[in-house]
Amino acid sequence: MLLSPDAPIQRLAAAIERAEVSVREVVDASLDRVEARNTTLNAFTQVLSDRSRVAADRADREIAAGHYRGPLHGIPISIKDLIDVAGTPTTAASHVADRSPAPSDAPVVARLREAGAIVIGKCNLHEFAFGTTGEDSAFGPTRHPLDPQRSPGGSSSGSAVSVADGMVTASIGTDTGGSIRIPAAACGLVGLKPTFDELPCHGIVPLAPSLDHVGPLTRSVADARLLFAAMRGATGAPAPTTPVTRRLGCPRPYFLDVLDAEVREIFDTALTRLGSSEWMVRDSPVRYGHDTATVCLHLVLSEATAVHASSLDTQAESYTEGVRLRLELGRYVLGEDYARAQRGRAVLTHAVDAALVGHDALVLPTLAIPAWPLGTETVDVGGRPISVRNVTLRLTQLFNATGHPAISIPCGCTTGGLPVGLQLVGRRGHTDHLLHVAEACETVLACR
């Protein structure tokens, strides 16, 4: 076989279309990698070996019959185990969730299958996606592919690891406060959270419905674009694209206040490299950005607790301790404070819109720290102790509340070899433009 599942989709697709490699060979290579590595990394909750081989053989027969579906035909992908895949239980990495098989695919999965993608398995996550480490899971923690003693970030931890370790070509995750972008940054991947409501969240276990997004984790922006287009399907016509002006706004206050020294240095170097490539990066503060955490906390606690209220009444002991405590905490948020947080969301949305005026995108780091050791609760950032949960959410969660599309791309590695991500945030409804911008930046920052 010439290509492995970690090849760029366009390259793999061209080889599959020309029958230089069979889909069955690609899927077997994917399953072999899963078998070799999953015991160590714990990325998968369910491996669909038989089904994916049957699907691969069918995909090969279609190509032989002249029915090539397009660039995702025969591409091995994984799905976060929060998303329905017909005939498999959606465990949400919890002992609480209903373990009966899902009757049908979530629409985003159905669309990917229609485009020819092969679902290799379902991925581990932080229980119910309510955490950023991937540690609290009924299946045990997911481990970082570069250092199994570290967290790969979460909540889409298994999705990120399955792609970063070359088990699959791409994965589908969800993002309520950064759960696609955080593990993408920690594992050196591209992670896309589209505009709110651009992709359907039906068939996905909700966490906080007004903040929930679904999107791809891939090895390149081009791959993310292919997955995003397939997930959007025929009904979601893209907004007309506008030319990339090469102007980026950097919201320094609050967003650059708490950063690991190496992350800061790598981010600054990335801006310098962009500046050397005719990109203009100007300061563009997000007014009231310092209110991000308190607004998001009141929104997510209230909504998550509403979703889990009946399970908390009957099966509280079945949750992992950390997730249960956060859900219980949500019961104490007052209605008047949820209303204030909704007002804050509107103010912050307006502020991000204003910061974007005259810019293709906002640019900021994705994750303030590199991948951290498993079991860590507090880290020291610039001499200041801060909880892992707070520091990991700090740069991503605002754009869940405001609904702006955001993407993380790799921009370098620490001296210890741990990846660092750069986040680009685009205008609402203009995810395609953001992808163009990200692809252009990726070319400048390419560190693979």
Active-site residues, by number, are: 80, 155, 179
φ, ψ (nearest 5 deg) of residue 200 = -70, 140
Closest approach of another protein to the CB of residue 26, in Å: 47
Which x/- pattern over 23-52 shows residues binding another protein (rule: CB under 8 A)?
------------------------------
- Is residue 393 a contact point for another protein (CB under 8 A)? no
* 221, 333, 374, 381: residue in contact with another protein (rule CB under 8 A): 333
Long-range contacts of 309-318 (CB under 8 A, 24+ apart): 311/96, 315/95, 315/96, 318/94, 318/95, 318/96
Q: Which residues pair with 381 in a beta bridge?
A: 384
Closest approach of another protein to the CB of residue 299, in Å: 11
Nearer to another protein, 4 or 288 (CB): 288
* 2, 19, 261, 329: residue in contact with another protein (rule CB under 8 A): 329
State how far the Cα of 135 lies from the Cα of 152, in Å rounded to an integer: 9
Which x/- pattern over 254-293 shows residues binding another protein (rule: CB under 8 A)?
---------------------------------xx--x-x
- Is residue 64 a contact point for another protein (CB under 8 A)? no
Q: Is 324 exposed, middle or buried (0-12, 13-18, 19+ CB in 10 A)?
A: buried
Q: Which of residues 309-328 bind another protein (CB under 8 A)?
A: 321, 325-326, 328
Contacts for 50 with CB less than 8 Å, ≥ 6 apart = none
- Which amino acid would we find at residue 120? I
CA end-to-end distance (rounded Å), the chain = 23
DSSP string, 343-375: HHHHHHHHHHHHHHTT-SEEEEES-SS---BTT
Per CB under 8 A, which region of 85-93, 178-186, 270-278, 331-339 contacts another protein?
331-339
Which x/- pattern over 342-371 shows residues binding another protein (rule: CB under 8 A)?
-xx-xx--xx--------------------
CB 105 within 8 A of CB 77: no
Give the footprint of another protein on this chain (CB under 8 A): 287-288, 291, 293-295, 297-298, 301, 321, 325-326, 328-329, 332-334, 337, 340-341, 343-344, 346-347, 350-351
